[in-house]
Structures are given as C-alpha cells and as structure tokens.
Chain A
C-alpha cells in the first residue's frame, strides 16, 4: 500500500455517511473514491445515493492498476454484495463480462450474496468450454475465470439446471475448484457423497486446503462434518467459523435445541 493510500484509510475511519457518499460521487481523487466504495460496504450503508454511486462505479474507467485492472470496480462490486439491494443485480451481471478477472470474481461473490436467480444464466455462461477451457492465464496467479466463485454462487442460488455443467469440475486439477464443485453439488442435490468429499479434504496434507474445506463445510452447513472439523489441524478461529455455519444451518431447521445442536456447541466451547 502506498503511503498516500494509508493516510486515506486512516482518515476514512472517521468519515460520516454523507462524506463517504460525497467521496464516492466525486471523480477527481481516485484513491479517496476507492476507499469510499469500501467504506459504504464495510458499514453497510443503505442509502439510494450511495447505491447509485456504487452502481456507477462499476463502469468506472479512470481508476486503473498497472496491470490493467479496475480497482474501484472491484471494491464497488464487493460493497454491493454487502448491501443486499437487488437493484444492483443487473449491473453486477454486466460486470461478469469485465476484462478484469478480479472484478468478475467480486461480482460473482456479490451475486451469490444477493441470492437473485436472475444471475444464473450469466454465471453458467462463464463455465463455457468446461474443464478443458478452465486453464491458467499465462503469467497470472489465476485461471481464465473465477471458477470457484462461479460454482459457489451456482450452488447458493440453487441453480439445479446447471448441475450438468458443474459436475465435470469435480475433476478439475485445482483443489479449490474441485471443492467449490463439491460444495455446489451438495447444495444442488443434497447428496452426501459431495459433502463427504469436503470431509476428505479436511484431511488434506496442506494447511491451505484444510482451511478452504473448513470454509466450505461451514458454508453448506454439513452436519456430518462437525467432528472432522473439530479434529482437523487448523486454527481454532477457522474451526469456530465453520462450526458456527453448521450450527446456524441446523438451528434454522429445528424448533428447540436438540442433541445435534448441543453437540456442535459443546465442540465450539472447547475451541474458544
């Protein structure tokens, strides 16, 4: 982070909502605008002017990174995911075609968070070419599309018509993408074989993969994963987040505390 950006970040902590919106609406100072977009998401500011300015920021052409990326668009997409206003959906769908990979990734994650099934056809379109097309971009640390975000969104949006397109990604050579496919297929089919793949991933030799699997079982609320989560070798903080996800998913399905809920909480207590 450049020194000037740090100063803006510190100053931003004491902004009012009015200031943040004004800072997003102006176009003279890109770094202040960039933080304003983040700020509105961070503090979940629900305001029509802020929403409009964030949607406009999704087509910004001024703020460019040395690699050709669109930093402001990335932040705007992330913020719109947090605000929960479905009026952002069409612009986010449009952002799935942005040349910047990270804008597409943020847009897919935001569309997942907003939960609007309208986004499904555009997300499925990014899977075109299947696993064969899902290769690395030469010289970049990522694949041609943000496949994990796309697959996770399709699972969360209950895109049962997309099962056929999701299925082949179980065999992708990037573990993170395989996990995302398993996670989505569990949500789309309810079949334990896909959840069990994530339990197996909790025993991966690499810590990074165990961490990813923890987030996945938490996100889908996979009840069978409680003990494997408690026993995997990873930070307690991540295990607690995973168990919280499973607990809340379970609590939503029962009227009063049952044995399973008490078991999850007992495991969580031990990890504090």
Chain B
C-alpha cells in the first residue's frame, strides 16, 4: 500500500469501523507525511479513530510537533484535547507555552491532558539556560491545578507532579511537591484523588521498605 492510497482510505471511509481501520493503517506507517491527515482525524469526533491518530502522531514524534502546534483547533475542544494529548505524550519542550495555556482551558478534557503533559517535558531537549525558569513555571502551574474544581483535572495534576518530581530528582522542586501531595492525600473530598496522591507519594519516597523497617 502506498501512502497515497492509505490517505485515500481515510477520506473514503464510510463507517466508524472502516475509518478506525484506515487510520490505524495510516498511523502504522510512522511516515511524517501522514501528519496532516492524522491531525485532521483528531477533529472527526470519533474517539476510536482519534486514539489511533494520537498513537500515530506520538510514534512519529518530533516531526509532528510543529504541525500540531500550528493547527491547534481553537473552536473544537474535542480536537484540541486530542492534539494536547499528542503533545503531552511526545514531551517536546516547544509545546511548553501551549501546555501552560491549555492547563487553564475552559474544557476539562483539555486541562487534564495539559496537566499530565506538563509533567512529561523532556528537559534535556531544552536549552540549559532556559530550564530553571521553565521548570519553576511548570511547577507553579501544576500546584495551582491541584485546586481545580474538577476531580479529573486534579487527578491529572497529581500525575503531572509525580512525573515532574521524578524527572528532576532530589531538588527544591521535589521538596515543594511532596507537601502538596500530602495535603491532597489527607484532605481531598474525592477518594480517587486521595488514593492517587498516596500512590504518587509512595513512588517518590525512596527505599520505602527501609523506612518501615527502621
């Protein structure tokens, strides 16, 4: 199958299932030339096809970042959430500003995807002179997001904070994350949030078994 025929299959799909199959085949090529079509699929309001398109964009990685940033859909929050999810998964620092803005989006699906993505930035790909300031902005944004009114956004903020803390190791930033997780674990009204912050705390405590035995 040539790329052209795979692209045509996506356009000609006449059912949800055939669209899903066509998008999966296109995504599996890993061909950067598939990027515009995969981005288009994010706006089709078909969750199955969107998941397959996100997987394709993530597999393509770096070459998908600029087109994703250029084509962010300001009017369709469903499409925007899928694009933010793709950027979150890739973790390219060029998406940093977009993710920081998206963490305050009116749509909760966008906010939760952005909060997770802020924890996944590949810091080694950012110019060292910009790292410290960017990390502290991400930290402040995620700490603020743990007070979101939607449980799922707070959940995503915890996942983001856990990933951020892990990627930075024992730093001042970690020392600011731990009390926040502790507070959520004890005080959040949702049991799922208390459970997820407990898990994050456990994962960020080195040699947990030793702590118990001493």
B152 near A: Cβ within 8 Å? yes
B112 near A: Cβ within 8 Å? yes
Selecting from B62-70, B132-140, B193-201, the interface stretch reads B193-201
Roughly how many angstroms separate A252 CA and B191 CA in the complex, as a whole number? 8
Per-position contact with B for A132-156: 1 when CB-CB < 8 Å, else 0?
A: 0000000000000000000000000
The residue on A at minimum CB distance from B88 is A272
Contact partner of B151 among A244, A261, A265, CB < 8 A? A244
A213 near B: Cβ within 8 Å? no
Contact partner of A265 among B88, B112, B199, CB < 8 A? B199
Give the most central of A234, A235, A244, A257: most B CB within 10 Å: A244
Roughly how many angstroms separate A248 CA and B191 CA in the complex, as a whole number? 6
Interface size on A, residues (CB 8 A): 20
> Is the pair B199, A234 in contact by a Cβ cutoff of 8 Å?
no
The residue on A at minimum CB distance from B78 is A235
B59 near A: Cβ within 8 Å? no
Given A244-B190, A257-B198, A272-B85, 5 other A-B contacts at CB below 8 A?
A: A240-B152, A244-B151, A248-B192, A251-B195, A257-B202
- List 21 A-B residue pairs with CB atoms under 8 Å apart, sorted by A's residue number: A233-B47, A244-B152, A244-B190, A244-B192, A247-B191, A247-B192, A257-B195, A257-B198, A257-B199, A257-B202, A261-B195, A261-B199, A265-B195, A265-B199, A268-B155, A268-B192, A268-B196, A269-B159, A272-B116, A272-B152, A272-B156
Residues of chain A touching chain B, judged by Cβ–Cβ distance below 8 Å, are 207, 233-237, 240-241, 244, 247-248, 251-252, 257, 261-262, 265, 268-269, 272
